[in-house]
Chains A and B, each alone.
Chain A
Amino acid sequence: MTSPPPNWTLERRIPSDPDVCAKVIEPLVDALENFGWAAREVFGIRMAMEEAIVNAIRHGNQCSPNKSVQIAIKVDDQEFLATITDQGDGFDPKQVPDPTDDENLECDSGRGLVLIKNYADEVTYNQSGNSVTLKKSKP
C-alpha cells in the first residue's frame, strides 16, 4: 500500500479572465477534501481564493489580456497556503473603505477583502500591494 503524498501543490499562471478561476479552485477543493478538511473550511478557502483571484484580475490587472496572474498553492493535512500575484500597480488595503461601515454597506467595493480576511487566518500583502498570501491552519 502506497502512502498518500505529503502535500499537494499547484503553480499556475492564468490569463486575466475571471472565468478561468474555476480551473484553479476546483482541483484545490479536491485536494482539501482529500486531506480531510471539513466542508465549512473548504467553503471558506474557496471563498477567499475566488475573491483574491477575481480582485487580482479585475482590480490588479484591470482585466487586461496582456497581463496574467501567478498563483502558487500548497495544501497538506495541517495547512493551506496560497500566494496570488498580479501585474498591476498594487494597492494599499488600508485605503479601501470598510464595506461593513454603516455608510458603505450598500457600496460595491471592498466586500471581497472582508471575506478574505475572515476566511483566512493570515492575510499578508507584499510592499507594492500586488501580491497577497493567504494562510489557514486546519482546526
Chain B
Amino acid sequence: MDQYECIETDKVEDVAVVKFVDERMMDAARIEQLGGELMDAVSGDDKDRVVINFENVSFFSSAAVSKLLVAEKRIRSQGGQLRLSNLRPEVRDVFNLTKLDSVFKIEEEQSDAIESLQ
C-alpha cells in the first residue's frame, strides 16, 4: 500500500514520521481504515524508529487508541521504537487517564521525538 487516505508518511533523519489526516478520529469505518494503514506504514525492517505526530488531531477515541496499540506492538515485535509527539493537552489526557502514557513514550515536539530516537 503506497497511497494512504488517513495518514501522511515522511522520513526525517532516517526516522519514519506518520501524521494523521483527520482532525477527529470518530468515524468507525475510518478508524478501521486508519488501523490498516498504520499497520502497513509501520511494518518492515526499515521501520525501526517511528514517530507518530498528533499535530492535526483534536479528538482521539478509545477505538483509535486500540489501533495505535496494535501498531506499537508491531513496531516493538520488529525490535523498533515508537514515539508520539505534538499531542494537544486534551488528547494527552486520554493517554494519561487510561495510563497508556506508561506504554507510549510521548514527547512534546516532533524534533524532540526524533532526537530521542537517535
15 new A-B contacts, CB < 8 A, other than A50-B26, A99-B98, A115-B62, are A22-B26, A39-B90, A40-B90, A43-B58, A47-B94, A51-B62, A105-B103, A106-B103, A108-B66, A111-B62, A111-B66, A111-B98, A114-B97, A115-B97, A118-B97
> Given that A19-B27, A22-B26, A106-B73 are known contacts, is A47 also in contact with B61, CB under 8 Å in the complex?
yes
Q: Give complex CA distance A105, B61 in Å.
A: 16
How far apart are A32's CB and chain B's nearest CB, in angstroms? 14
Instruction: Indicate whether B59 reaches chain A with its CB closer than 8 angstroms.
Output: yes
Question: Of the candidates B59, B90, B102, which one forms a contact with A105 in the assembled complex, judged by CB atoms under 8 Å apart?
Answer: B102
B102 surroundings in chain A (CB, below 8 A): 105
Chain A interface secondary structure, helix, strand, loop or mixed?
A: helix
Instruction: Indicate whether A90 reaches chain B with its CB closer than 8 angstroms.
Output: no
Inter-chain contact A54/B63, CB cutoff 8 Å: yes
Instruction: Indicate whether A126 reaches chain B with its CB closer than 8 angstroms.
Output: no
Inter-chain contact A18/B28, CB cutoff 8 Å: yes
Chain B interface secondary structure, helix, strand, loop or mixed?
A: helix
> Given that A19-B27, A50-B26, A106-B73 are known contacts, is A43 also in contact with B59, CB under 8 Å in the complex?
yes
Instruction: Indicate whether B12 reaches chain A with its CB closer than 8 angstroms.
Output: no
B103 surroundings in chain A (CB, below 8 A): 105-106
Instruction: Indicate whether B65 reaches chain A with its CB closer than 8 angstroms.
Output: yes
- The count of residues in chain B whose C-beta lies closer than 8 Å to any C-beta of chain A is 22
Inter-chain contact A111/B28, CB cutoff 8 Å: no
Instruction: Indicate whether A21 reaches chain B with its CB closer than 8 angstroms.
Output: yes
Most buried by B among A43, A44, A99: A43
Inter-chain contact A106/B61, CB cutoff 8 Å: no
Over the window 40-52 of chain B, the binary record of Cβ atoms lying under 8 Å from chain A Cβ atoms (1 yes, 0 no) is 0000000000000
Q: Give complex CA distance A99, B99 in Å.
A: 8
Inter-chain contact A21/B26, CB cutoff 8 Å: yes
Interface residues of A in 16-45 (CB under 8 A from B): 18-19, 21-22, 25, 39-40, 43-44
